[in-house]
Amino acid sequence: MDEWLAFLDPIPSIVADEMEAFNDTKWRIEAYFPEEPDKAAVELIQSRLPSASKAKPLITKLPDEDWVVMSQQGLKPVHAGRFYVHTSANKDEVPKGSVPINIEASRAFGTGGHETTSGCLSMLDKLKCMGKRFNLIADIGTGTGLLTFAASHLWPRAYLTASDIDPVSIDVTRDNALLNGYALGSGPGQIALCVAAGTDHPIIQQRAPYDLIIANILAGPLIELAPSLARIIRGGGALILAGLLNTQAESVIGAYRKLGFRLEVRRDTGDWPCLLLVKRKRFGWQRPIRADGRTSQPPGDFGTW
């Protein structure tokens, strides 16, 4: 939590939303207080947003409702491959033969409702149906941990690593792992968690080379992370990429093709493709090195949709 929030009593819940997809210049910031905020509280929040210094805050009283329950009721379950992603509001509706994963509405990306996440779930399921086996798996930008949990179910003896640039996401992933019965730790069948910008963390580097890497983030960071991801995946290893628009796919594919990857499968769900790439073995294994940490995303935006 930012230290400046400690000056507010009670501390509000703050939500930031892009007003236009992939337009970093237009944002809407909403702060939820249990009672009407005074002028000082409004000015403090606005002081942390230099670009909004001349904006006129809009203060509105909301109906007395249980907004958490209402938001969860608004989240529809997602059935992708063998996985059924749901909240506690629809936990009794699990289709026969499916694998349920309970992901509540929270502060991190990745409830399964976005096409990028459901696309990754379907791609993981496809790999399992193809008979693929993975022993070392990394989920870069894990969000709520959903894709890590899916991989853990499919390959229960694998060593799994889940990272995110946002510490909140790692807290949420930890809670979701406990909720769904997935073990945390460093052993086989367990999930090791870490806060990291891209691949820049000792846990991620020391566990390389990986058999499978999942990165459901955005096109810009996927391109910037290409050299770092290429260093920590073995020859013949699989790479699932998502979070990009179909108009951005060729640029992303091109960045990885230059580093020895070939496109194995592309599945488009609406405007959102999910890519499965494989690293050509002839490029061999390069000893992993620390990533430079550069990313085109602002802090907190790494993570599953």
SS3 state at 49: coil
User: In Å, how far from its chain's centre is CA 62?
Assistant: 30
* Cβ–Cβ < 8 Å for 275, 213: no
246 belongs to an annotated ligand binding site: no
* Cβ–Cβ < 8 Å for 227, 289: no
164 belongs to an annotated ligand binding site: yes
141 belongs to an annotated ligand binding site: yes
Determine the Cα–Cα distance for residues 113 and 103; give it in Å rounded to an integer: 11
Determine the Cα–Cα distance for residues 79 and 91; give it in Å rounded to an integer: 13
199 belongs to an annotated ligand binding site: no
**Token pair of 77, please?**
């379950």
The count of other CB atoms within 10 Å of the CB of residue 222 is 27
Q: Angle at the Cα of 242 (from 114 to 297), degrees rounded to 5?
A: 95
- Sheet containing 272-279: order of strands: 191-195, 159-164, 136-140, 210-216, 233-242, 272-279, 261-269
* Cβ–Cβ < 8 Å for 240, 215: yes
Report phi then psi at 225, rounded to 5.
Answer: -85, -5
Sequence ranges of the binding site for S-adenosyl-L-methionine: 117, 141, 164, 216
Sequence ranges of the binding site: 117, 141, 164, 216
